[in-house]
Amino acid sequence: MEFTFEVRESDLMGRIGRLRVGGKALDTPCLLPVIHPVNQLVTTQELELMGFKGLMTNSYIILSRRRDEALKEGIHRMLQYEGVFMTDSGGYQVLEYGDIEVGYRRVASFQESIGSELSVTLDKPTGFSASEKYARSSMEYSLKNAITTINEYGQGKTVWVGPIQGGLFPLLLSKSASSLVKAGFEFLALGSPVEVMKNYKFPDLLSMVATTRRAIPYSVPLHLFGAGHPLTMALAVALGCDTFDSASYMLFAKDGRFMTEHGVSRLEAMKFLPCSCPICANTTVAGLLELDFTERTRSLALHNLYLLRKEIEVCREAIAEGRLWDLVQEKAIVHPRLFDAFKRLSKAIDLLLDGTPLLKDKGLFVRDRRDLARPELARASGRLKQSVMRSSNSAVLVISEVPLPLSKTRLQDHKLPSECDFYRLHPTLGPYPAELEFVYPFTQTVASSGACGKAQTAAAQKQLRNWGYSEVLLVNVDVDRRNSIAEPRSRQRPKGSSPSPPSSLAPPRLPRPP
């Protein structure tokens, strides 16, 4: 079956892509709502109308409970849905029910026969609190099934999705992921993050996804099993997860819980519905509570789906606008544990740099020192260090607000020597050659006042020392910053005095073009 994945735009490791399978298309990032093959309160038609182009369902449950029908009609006709189906192998259920008759062959043949487009090979979920021994054995079992399946069946009738297991053990995750790619899998799915998320172990989620992403090529799409939570979606997208499935909308609904941008609340504990979706626009908390269980559950499920649908669109638009870092931060600020994960995002800078464009249309926001880890700034800082070198002894001008180059008249106004090197001052990167003035992201940075004071000043001082200028003259730099920067071995010009001539007038070595 035809399978392609095309990345159209990217930011951090997040990608807007198009996944084509069997003549159908999924735009990514993408959420596949999980539907129950027997007992489904929200219909597939409703899901289609809401814009969901793909669904996830469980091949083992179909096999156990609607086998003949599915074989006769195929999954699409049986479940009345023409979009893309991904079928989970049901490895979890097989394990739970101890159904030893179901081996990888039975699962694979069935998935092929019912016409699923994306079929996960029979796996054994590692789980969250697994010992390394169990993690290894479940990973190896899943890997072996996967490789045997793809080799025996080929990809003529369905596209096999390779399940990555290994729990929290990085070496196991890496081995699992890279072996699957080597075996020919074009689409991988990372297992077991649900428990990690339920336990608020968001830094572990970050490590799991980053480890996996490092082990596979940029062009291979990655599915994250069961990660339909409004808080973590942006983080997972930023680390390179392309698709998600989730039954959360329904599980939460059955438990009377209402999703919001900042988490999940118990409907009974709420007073207002902070949402304008088609459900919430026409009801109230009291209105929902008056409904019978089934209708309330349906309403909550529909609301939850509208919320998740929006969160996916928010991620897509953030990638398109180049503000995915900002979105991840906006989400992270919601919960201290998620903030812990955000603080560790710089450890995945290798991945983030891969997907972040060299140029962006919009201003770059800096709130505090944590934003110094933004890939745009990390990249600019690296280039500055690599490219700007000089051995002359001429004076430096660090100029903050005056546009450059200065006219002769302005030079005279400021009583500057007619030849000297010009620099501007970046709020976080420190001084940079005036020639870079309009190169992204130097003047495009919008920083919170005093956000990076000390770190920035220290960096500037170090740079000035390293660049070996004998004299540093500061013009139009705001007063606070002047006082701190002038310190190391420069001097501030007394008002009205004329500068001592620079000891060398050699022009600065221009930075290499970016």
Residues 39-78 within binding reach of its own copies (CB under 8 A): 50
Among 136, 138, 160, smallest CA distance to 148 is for 160
User: Does the footprint of its own copies cover residue 339 (CB under 8 A)?
Assistant: yes
Single residue of 106, 360, 367, 410 touching its own copies by CB under 8 A: 367
* Residue 316 vs 426, nearer CB to its own copies: 316
Single residue of 168, 451, 473, 474 touching its own copies by CB under 8 A: 451
Q: Name the segment binding its own copies (CB under 8 A); options: 74-82, 148-156, 178-186, 334-342.
A: 334-342
Q: How many residues bind its own copies (CB under 8 A)?
A: 50
Q: Name the segment binding its own copies (CB under 8 A); options: 132-140, 172-180, 276-284, 415-423.
A: 276-284
User: Does the footprint of its own copies cover residue 276 (CB under 8 A)?
Assistant: yes
Single residue of 99, 112, 261, 437 touching its own copies by CB under 8 A: 261
Single residue of 290, 317, 401, 480 touching its own copies by CB under 8 A: 317
Contacts with 509 (C-beta within 8 Å, 6 or more apart), sequence order: 388, 389, 390
Contacts with 10 (C-beta within 8 Å, 6 or more apart), sequence order: 16, 319, 355, 356, 357
User: Does the footprint of its own copies cover residue 25 (CB under 8 A)?
Assistant: no
**11 has catalytic annotation:** no
Catalytic hit among 11, 27, 68, 88: 88
Among 363, 235, 323, smallest CA distance to 10 is for 323
User: Does the footprint of its own copies cover residue 365 (CB under 8 A)?
Assistant: yes
Single residue of 343, 347, 482, 509 touching its own copies by CB under 8 A: 343
Long-range CB contacts for residues 249-255, cutoff 8 Å, separation at least 24? 249/33, 249/42, 249/301, 249/304, 249/305, 249/308, 250/34, 250/36, 250/41, 250/42, 250/297, 250/301, 250/304, 252/300, 252/304, 253/41, 253/297, 253/298, 253/300, 253/301, 253/304, 254/297
State how far the Cα of 28 lies from the Cα of 10, in Å rounded to an integer: 11
User: Does the footprint of its own copies cover residue 401 (CB under 8 A)?
Assistant: no
User: Does the footprint of its own copies cover residue 134 (CB under 8 A)?
Assistant: no
Buried/exposed 52-81: b ≥16 CB within 10 Å, e otherwise: bbbbbbbbbbbbbebeeebbeeebbebbeb
**CB-based burial of residue 277 (10 Å sphere; 0-12 exposed, 13-18 middle, 19+ buried)?**
middle
Single residue of 313, 350, 401, 480 touching its own copies by CB under 8 A: 313
Single residue of 309, 379, 390, 424 touching its own copies by CB under 8 A: 309
User: Does the footprint of its own copies cover residue 446 (CB under 8 A)?
Assistant: yes
Residues pairing with 41 in the sheet: none
Q: Is 403 left (phi over 0), alpha (psi -120 to 50) or beta?
A: beta
User: Does the footprint of its own copies cover residue 277 (CB under 8 A)?
Assistant: yes
Q: What is the DSSP letter of 267?
A: G
User: Does the footprint of its own copies cover residue 382 (CB under 8 A)?
Assistant: no
User: Does the footprint of its own copies cover residue 326 (CB under 8 A)?
Assistant: yes
User: Does the footprint of its own copies cover residue 154 (CB under 8 A)?
Assistant: no
* Residue 41 vs 50, nearer CB to its own copies: 50
Cβ 265 vs Cβ 257: under 8 Å: yes
Cβ 241 vs Cβ 227: under 8 Å: yes
Single residue of 30, 62, 307, 352 touching its own copies by CB under 8 A: 307
Residues belonging to the active site: 88
Where on the chain is the footprint of its own copies (CB under 8 A)? Answer: 16, 50, 260-262, 265, 269-278, 281, 306-307, 309-310, 313-314, 316-318, 320-321, 326-327, 329-330, 333-337, 339-340, 343, 361, 365-368, 446-449, 451
